[in-house]
Amino acid sequence: MKKALIFILLTLISKISFAQESDFVVSQDGSGDFVTVQEAIMAVPDFRNVPTYIFIKSGIYKEKIILPTSKTKVVLIGEDVENTILTFDDFASKLNKFGEEMGTTGSSSFFVFGDDFSARNLTFANSSGPVGQAVAIRVTGDRAFFEKCKFLGFQDTLYAHGEKSRQYYKDCYIEGTTDFIFGWSTAVFENCEIFSKAGGQYITAASTLESVPNGFVFINCKLTGDAPEGKVYLGRPWRIHAKTVFINTEMGKHIRPEGWHNWNKPEAEATAFYAEFGSSGEGAHPSARVSWSKQLTEEEMSKFTVENILSGSDGWIPGINLENKLWPSPHHLPKSKD
């Protein structure tokens, strides 16, 4: 009992410290610097060379949010991942003010164009329901880092969009039905839970460029869900050079024994790279996988590390900002200007 009370006290102190020492505080009750997330983002100086920390107090923020290209090194920190929710309810077939369908991209609740974006303890959601393509977040900027975040939706939840974008998702929860992790980017998902909702058939739909060595890589993740047994594919190729790899991943019984689908593109069987190493659980069926997928050897698997996949020519280390400081904690945050 005493340990539990101490933990609660330390958590409260940490939240207070974040709020006091961040650059901006967003709160719907008017107690912060801004009442909307978009206002706080627009207050960040353009192309700032040091991180700008924005603390977001608990609440459901129904906003269609854009992080412009000029807003770099923005760090969003939620008070509580379960109760700090950034959401909107657009969807692909919804008509805009010109009477035109929004399309998949236009349905996004949150657009990330700026480089070096980080988020922690936040839920990104599309609350339109099962109405077809409806994106919770589209990430185009380079060097994006998400830790302890949730991504909620149905079809097309997480759009890893940028062709040259590198993204890292650590200890996150991502749910959806069909192609709910999709796009061109190179993205690593480490220690994440990937939840397939009933009615879905595919987890990933990568569209990796032929010249890009890695697409989506899942490391030490768990594939869970309430989809029926044996109904969900690990992925299908949105473009024929799609690349998706699962390393040491626990797979539930909803995963189909064959694992992968060619999206009725037989040519993709020779060009896509779909691979696994060390899969476990009721959905792990290495001998039953389609013949054109690959079971990696230990030597081949060893190159699939976070550093090898994401470092690039600039040596990016996810979770380390340009001041070489570890992920934001109260003693790392800049002092309040008040």
Give pLDDT tens digits for 189-225: 999 999 999 999 999 999 999 999 999 999 999 999 9
Evaluated on CA atoms 226, 231, 234, 235, the torsion sign reads negative
User: Do 184 and 313 fall within a single domain?
Assistant: yes
pLDDT confidence band for 20 (50 / 70 / 90): low
Average pLDDT over residues 135-141: 98
Phi, psi of 190 (to 5 degrees): -120, 130
Backbone CA torsion sign across 60, 66, 68, 69: positive
Are 301 and 223 part of one and the same domain?
yes
What average pLDDT does the segment 45-64 reach? 96
Domain range for 300: 176-317
Please write the tens of the pLDDT for every residue from 125-134.
999 999 999 9
Look at residue 30 and tell me if it is in a domain. no
Domain CATH number, residue 56: 2.160.20.10
pLDDT of residue 329: 43
Instruction: Select from 161, 188, 218 the last residue of a domain.
Output: 161
Q: What is the pLDDT of residue 317?
A: 84
Q: What is the mean pLDDT of the chain?
A: 91
Q: Are residues 149 and 63 in the same domain?
A: yes
Q: Respond yes or no: is residue 89 known to be catalytic.
A: no
181 and 313 fall within a common domain? yes
The pLDDT of residue 243 is above 70: yes
Q: Is 126 part of a structural domain of the chain?
A: yes
What distance lies between CA 259 and its chain's CA centroid? Answer: 22
Alpha-carbon span 199 to 202, nearest angstrom: 10
237-256 average pLDDT score: 98
Q: How many domains does the chain have?
A: 2
Residue 105 domain-assigned?
yes
Can you tell me the distance from the alpha carbon of 244 to that of 234, in angstroms, rounded to the nearest whole number?
9
In a domain, 33, yes or no: no
Residues 122 and 216 in one domain: no
Last residue of a domain, one of 161, 195, 227: 161
Query: Residue 330: what pLDDT?
Result: 39
| 149 and 55 within one domain | yes
- pLDDT for 21: 73
Q: Kind of pairing, strands 74-78 and 273-277?
A: unpaired
Mean pLDDT across 314-334: 55
Task: Read off the tokens for 74.
Answer: 């923005």
Is a pLDDT exceeding 70 seen at residue 321? no
Residue 61 within a domain: yes
Tell me the C-alpha distance between 180 and 100, whole Å: 24
Residue 221 and residue 126 in one domain: no
> Are 147 and 219 contained in the same domain?
no
Q: What is the mean pLDDT of residues 306-316?
A: 94
Percent of the chain residues topping a pLDDT of 90? 87
Answer for the pair 58, 80: CB distance below 8 angstroms, yes or no. Answer: yes
What's the mean pLDDT in 48-54? Answer: 94
The reply to whether 51 falls in a domain is yes
Mean pLDDT of all residues in 143-161? 98
Choose, from 80, 179, 314, 338, the residue flagged as catalytic.
179
On whether both 105 and 235 belong to a single domain, the answer is no
Q: Is residue 237 part of a domain?
A: yes
Amino acid (one-letter) located at 76: L
Q: Report the alpha-carbon distance of residue 270 to residue 252 in Å, rounded.
A: 28
What's the pLDDT band for 323 if we cut at 50, 70, 90?
Answer: very low
The reply to whether 31 falls in a domain is no
Instruction: State the Cα torsion 23-26-30-32 to the nearest 10°.
Output: -20
Kindly state whether residues 141 and 263 are assigned to the same domain: no
User: By mean pLDDT, which of 9-13, 108-112, 126-130 is the weakest?
Assistant: 9-13
Residue 287: other Cβ atoms inside 10 A: 6
Same domain, 120 and 186: no
Given pLDDT bands bounded at 50, 70 and 90, which one contains residue 19?
low
pLDDT at 122 over 80: yes
Interval 261-299: pLDDT, tens: 999 999 999 999 999 999 999 999 999 999 999 999 999
Cα–Cα distances (Å) from 251 to 97, 153, 206, 260, 334, in that order, read: 43, 21, 19, 14, 42
Beta bridge partners of 186: 166
pLDDT at 333: 40
> Of residues 229 and 323, which shows the higher confidence score?
229
199 & 140 share domain: no
